[in-house]
Chains A and B, each alone.
Chain A
Amino acid sequence: MAVLDPVIPKVLATRIIPRVDAALGAAYGFDGRSSPAVGLITCDLDDALYTALDEATKQAPVEIVFARSLYAGSGFPSGPTSGEILGIMVGADPDDVERGMNACIQCLESEAHFYSASEDGSMTFFPHVISSLGYYLSREAGLEPGEAMAYLIATPLEAVYGVDAALKAAEVRLVKSFPPPTETNYAGAYLTGKLEACEAAAQAFAGAVVDIGASPTRML
């Protein structure tokens, strides 16, 4: 693995429940009676799956009702299929959910990748540009569906340094910040602006993270 090579997420487990139990639905924060079909997915990279779940809302009439990162991250999972995130989407029909799941998996395979910040791949980060937000992440970010967003995540110090670089690199604004500690101890932020500005911001973020990966203990 070389610096800035993609790290492709692994889907670890998937299931569709055609008609979920109403009480269970309530426990996970959605109405089990009106949206009976449920899709479950785990993945070894949380931010990639958040992005892919958002993509699913663009391609199928599904809603993301639950998506949470798991403690300690994919290096220390509770089991081989735990990864670092569980996502749940619901739809009116099992076919809708299947379409949403396929869109999600497709996005993980082709688009929502982490990148290596070091030669050995031990340090990874997520400098992702979403050209057009779906219904899930737009809600999480407080933006409108269709807006562009830079989804910037890295290890703690790199995230602070990188987001600062990104904000100064282009006409973007900070929408939401994720200071450490988090479940996986990654940190980062959502930035928004025009697509071109988000792209410039993501590149600046990546440049900053890679710089720290190459020489961590300088001052300036």
Chain B
Amino acid sequence: MTTRRLMEELQAEVRGGGVFGRSAPARGVASLLPSARGDTGGSVRGGDASVVKQPAPRVQDPALLEQLKASTPAKVGVGRAGLRYRTQTLLQFLADFAVAKAAVESQVPEGWAEQQGWVALQTAAEDPDQFLARPDLGRRLSEASMSVVRERFARDPDVQIVVADGLSATASMQNAPPMVQALEPELARRGLSVGTVAFVRHCRAKIADVVGQAVGARVAMILIGERPGLGTGDGMSAYLVWQPHEERTDAEKQAISNIHRRGMLPEEAGRFAARLIEAILEQQTSGVTLDVSRIEVPKSGLSAPPAHPAGPQARTRINQAHPEPLAGCGQSHGQQCDRAQNGLPGAVCNRSDGRPCEATTY
């Protein structure tokens, strides 16, 4: 429809210029015409450069582009077929989206918390669907769980640890046990007492305040599975707070994010958390008012380049085996060899005459 749009633009211009004169073109049309001296400028309308769109920038350094693409699972520089994604991009997108959905739908199995030696609790949300639909219920403990906390939990600990499924049970199950295991000896070495470790099902980050307040902890820490991103469903975060109570705001929380195998390793995060807890207790505050300038940050974590050669989040793309559509498949028109598009390893389009492959339209 590109020509139709161009002509409609022009039509509006012509109408704006009024009736055509006999002796001279109306202003509207005159401004459309190049001057008689042979104006070779890029503009159609009397110097209004915005009319002629700039072409898309060309890649000056293809190697740099490849490096950038390899550093992220995000779909950048993936090209297109007409106005659409290429099929391999779409398939990758669907696969990544499925990872995120599976993470949200994942559940911690019954008995898992007890195996870790933790006490299992539940929020007021009764099932996963209600948990997703009612954030408020995920911020309150159920009556039964609340009485467990009051009756069985150690009182007045220095540190109350809460493990939560959050929006990715997979993330918690992978990362919380090693992090807690790394953290506990570090706290013991500093002479700090750790309360009864809780695992809370259907849980949001606020529960750290609830449990911490109920037991009278000096610092509460929650380890929670994060909202998955596209293709990343295993990220966990830790939030720490000084003197937990229900009025604490997010600004008063200390966060350690991206705890997973490609980000900050859970073992390192445990040791980092111990240093943070020490500082929180010393400065008697947490969040934006905490001075973290003298705290050592793990190398593979927040600011340093990744220790892993493939980059922090590089994953195998679905079509690694067949990354580019082959020449001769007519791919510039959105018609690629369908075998190539499906990306089956080793499937090769044999056509080399520049004609579209036979099973190509959809």
Give the interface segment out of B14-22, B91-99, B128-136. Answer: B14-22
Q: Is A154 an interface residue (CB 8 A)?
A: no
Residue of B at shortest CB range from A91?
Answer: B358
Partner of B33, one of A4, A195, A211: A211
Q: How far is the CA of A96 from the CA of B55 in the complex (A)?
A: 36
Residue of B at shortest CB range from A146?
Answer: B332
Contact B32 A4 (CB under 8 A): no
Contact A208 B3 (CB under 8 A): no
Contact B34 A129 (CB under 8 A): no
Known A4-B14, A113-B4; contact A214-B20, beta-carbon cutoff 8 A: yes
Partner of A111, one of B1, B24, B26, B361: B1
- Residues of B within 8 Å of A99, CB to CB, are 361
Residue of A at shortest CB range from B40?
Answer: A168
Contact B333 A134 (CB under 8 A): yes
Q: How far is the CA of A129 from the CA of B4 in the complex (A)?
A: 9
Contact B355 A146 (CB under 8 A): no
> In whole Å, how far is A220's beta carbon from the nearest beta carbon of chain B?
6
Q: How far is the CA of A115 from the CA of B4 in the complex (A)?
A: 9
Q: How far is the CA of A170 from the CA of B55 in the complex (A)?
A: 12
- Chain B positions near chain A (C-beta within 8 angstroms): 1-4, 6-11, 14, 20-26, 29-30, 32-34, 36, 38-40, 42-44, 51-55, 82, 330, 332-335, 354-358, 360-361
Give the interface segment out of A24-32, A64-72, A181-189, A198-206. Answer: A198-206
Contact A206 B6 (CB under 8 A): yes
**5 tightest A-B CB contacts, nearest first:** A214-B20, A207-B32, A146-B332, A4-B11, A58-B333
Contact A129 B6 (CB under 8 A): yes
Q: Is A197 an interface residue (CB 8 A)?
A: yes
> In whole Å, how far is B257's beta carbon from the nearest beta carbon of chain A?
43
> Could you tell me which residues of chain A, from 61 to 96, have a CB within 8 Å of some CB in chain B?
61, 63, 92, 96
Residue of B at shortest CB range from A99?
Answer: B361
Partner of B23, one of A2, A195, A215: A215
Q: What are 23 A-to-B residue pairs whose CB atoms are below 8 Å?
A: A2-B11, A3-B14, A4-B11, A4-B14, A60-B361, A61-B355, A63-B355, A111-B3, A127-B6, A128-B3, A129-B3, A135-B354, A145-B330, A165-B34, A168-B39, A169-B44, A195-B55, A199-B52, A204-B32, A206-B10, A215-B22, A215-B23, A215-B25
Partner of A127, one of B7, B20, B332: B7
> In whole Å, how far is B71's beta carbon from the nearest beta carbon of chain A?
30
Contact B34 A169 (CB under 8 A): yes
- Residues of B within 8 Å of A210, CB to CB, are 10, 14, 29
Contact B33 A135 (CB under 8 A): no
Residue of B at shortest CB range from A199?
Answer: B6
> In whole Å, how far is A125's beta carbon from the nearest beta carbon of chain B?
10
- Residues of B within 8 Å of A165, CB to CB, are 33-34
> Could you tell me which residues of chain A, from 162 to 186, have a CB within 8 Å of some CB in chain B?
165, 168-171
Contact B44 A145 (CB under 8 A): no
Contact B3 A127 (CB under 8 A): yes
Contact A207 B33 (CB under 8 A): yes
> In whole Å, how far is A182's beta carbon from the nearest beta carbon of chain B?
21
Known A60-B361, A196-B52, A204-B34; contact A211-B25, beta-carbon cutoff 8 A: yes
Q: Is A132 an interface residue (CB 8 A)?
A: yes
Partner of A218, one of B7, B23, B361: B23
Q: Is A194 an interface residue (CB 8 A)?
A: yes
Residue of B at shortest CB range from A207?
Answer: B32
Sample of 6 more A-B contacts, CB < 8 Å, known A197-B52, A208-B33, A214-B26 = A61-B355, A127-B3, A127-B7, A199-B52, A203-B6, A203-B32
Partner of B2, one of A4, A129, A171: A129
Partner of B20, one of A194, A200, A206, A215: A215
Contact A170 B6 (CB under 8 A): no
Q: How far is the CA of A5 from the CA of B26 in the complex (A)?
A: 19
- Residues of B within 8 Å of A208, CB to CB, are 32-33
Q: How far is the CA of A145 from the CA of B53 in the complex (A)?
A: 23
Q: Is A122 an interface residue (CB 8 A)?
A: no
Contact A132 B332 (CB under 8 A): yes
Q: Is A110 an interface residue (CB 8 A)?
A: yes
- Residues of A within 8 Å of B21, CB to CB, are 215
Residue of B at shortest CB range from A161?
Answer: B33
Contact B6 A202 (CB under 8 A): yes
Q: Is A131 an interface residue (CB 8 A)?
A: yes
- Residues of B within 8 Å of A61, CB to CB, are 355-358, 360
Contact A59 B361 (CB under 8 A): yes
Residue of A at shortest CB range from B351?
Answer: A61
